[in-house]
């Protein structure tokens, strides 16, 4: 059952990943996600349905447009593949539960936000808002159907994440991070907090830890100066992923190490 679920979600993730490539390109430009249809940016020819199969079409076309032979960036199949793998991991980690759809919504939005922040150094409120709405509706329905046992902790961690990121934004007058990070933080805190303190605390701390490690690495390699602005969204999302998949065990290990468990 678990294998079938992972395979099903993996295929769904590949399809969603194909759509996320559209989101990543069009949302920052203020373009419609529906019209016009996908086309080669070099020659303008519409992408045929059989050339739009996630990952496989790129491989069969050897990474080039069928009509003009312009190279198709490898990031497109990588986004599709990453989304498929993450969806499969969600199925393996959480199974077929009422919580799973909320995680899938946030994972899909997270992939898009990760790439948009790398490209444009901003996290569009449209994508974050869609994630908040989708995850919020799913978790509210779960609370109504199965009881609100997880809801207080989820709301608490949403408030904690908002307080931390909002506080940094206020104290640094927006130089430490952008409002997009502040808006995304409580969404991630809500979803991770639903799992408990381990996921919420580890996810929050891991984002800053990953950011610090990457920052030190960039400085050491001479790839960035001390005043260089590095988008924080990818670190925020990576930390949330750590909390989501490994927060519980890491938190338990930490408590045991400091003698609190």
**What distance lies between CA 21 and its chain's CA centroid?**
13
Report the alpha-carbon distance of residue 14 to residue 26 in Å, rounded: 19
* 118-140 residue pLDDT tens: 999 999 999 999 999 999 999 99
Residues pairing with 64 in the sheet: 71
Q: Which pLDDT does position 1 carry in this prediction?
A: 74
Report the alpha-carbon distance of residue 23 to residue 39 in Å, rounded: 14
Report the alpha-carbon distance of residue 201 to residue 83 in Å, rounded: 25
Q: Which pLDDT does position 157 carry in this prediction?
A: 97
Contact 247, 192 (CB under 8 A): yes
* Predicted TM-score of the model (pTM): 0.94
Residues pairing with 46 in the sheet: 39
Block residue for tokens 């952008």: 178
Residues 247, 251, 256: CA angle, nearest 5 degrees: 155
Contact 18, 54 (CB under 8 A): yes
Report the alpha-carbon distance of residue 55 to residue 49 in Å, rounded: 13
Q: Which pLDDT does position 188 carry in this prediction?
A: 98
Closest CA to 162 of 201, 188, 143, 136: 188
Q: Which pLDDT does position 35 carry in this prediction?
A: 85
Report the alpha-carbon distance of residue 66 to residue 37 in Å, rounded: 16
Report the alpha-carbon distance of residue 151 to residue 115 in Å, rounded: 30
Report the alpha-carbon distance of residue 92 to residue 78 in Å, rounded: 21
**What distance lies between CA 157 and its chain's CA centroid?**
18
Report the alpha-carbon distance of residue 94 to residue 47 in Å, rounded: 36
Tell me the pLDDT of the chain (261 aa) as tens digits: 789 999 999 999 999 999 999 999 999 999 999 888 888 888 888 888 888 999 999 999 999 999 899 999 999 999 999 999 999 999 999 999 999 999 999 999 999 999 999 999 999 999 999 999 999 999 999 998 888 889 999 999 999 999 999 999 999 877 778 999 999 999 999 999 999 999 999 999 999 999 999 988 888 877 766 666 788 999 999 999 999 999 999 999 988 888 876
* Helix (H) and strand (E) counts in the chain: 9, 0
């Amino acid at each position: 059952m678990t294998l079938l679920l992972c395979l099903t979600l993996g295929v769904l993730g590949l399809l969603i990943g194909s759509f996320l490539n559209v989101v990543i390109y069009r949302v920052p430009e203020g373009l419609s996600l529906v019209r016009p249809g996908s086309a080669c940016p070099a020659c303008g020819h519409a992408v045929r349905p059989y050339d739009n199969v996630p990952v496989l079409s790129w491989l069969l076309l050897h990474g080039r447009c069928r009509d003009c032979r312009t190279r198709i960036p490898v990031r497109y199949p990588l986004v599709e593949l990453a989304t498929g793998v993450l969806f499969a991991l969600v199925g393996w980690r959480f199974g077929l539960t009422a919580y799973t759809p909320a995680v899938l919504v946030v994972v899909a939005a997270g992939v898009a936000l990760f790439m948009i922040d790398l490209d444009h150094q901003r996290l569009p409120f449209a994508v974050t808002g869609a994630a908040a709405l989708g995850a919020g509706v799913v978790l509210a329905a779960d609370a109504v159907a199965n009881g609100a046992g997880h809801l207080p902790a989820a709301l608490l961690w949403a408030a904690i994440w908002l307080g931390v990121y909002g506080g940094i934004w206020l104290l640094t007058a927006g130089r430490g991070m952008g409002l997009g990070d502040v808006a995304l933080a409580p969404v991630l805190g809500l979803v991770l907090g639903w799992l408990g303190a381990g996921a919420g605390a580890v996810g929050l701390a891991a984002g800053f830890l990953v950011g610090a490690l990457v920052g030190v690495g960039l400085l050491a390699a001479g790839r960035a100066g001390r005043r260089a602005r590095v988008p924080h969204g990818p670190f925020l999302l990576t930390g949330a992923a750590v909390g989501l998949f490994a927060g519980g065990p890491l938190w338990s290990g930490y408590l045991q190490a400091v003698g609190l468990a």
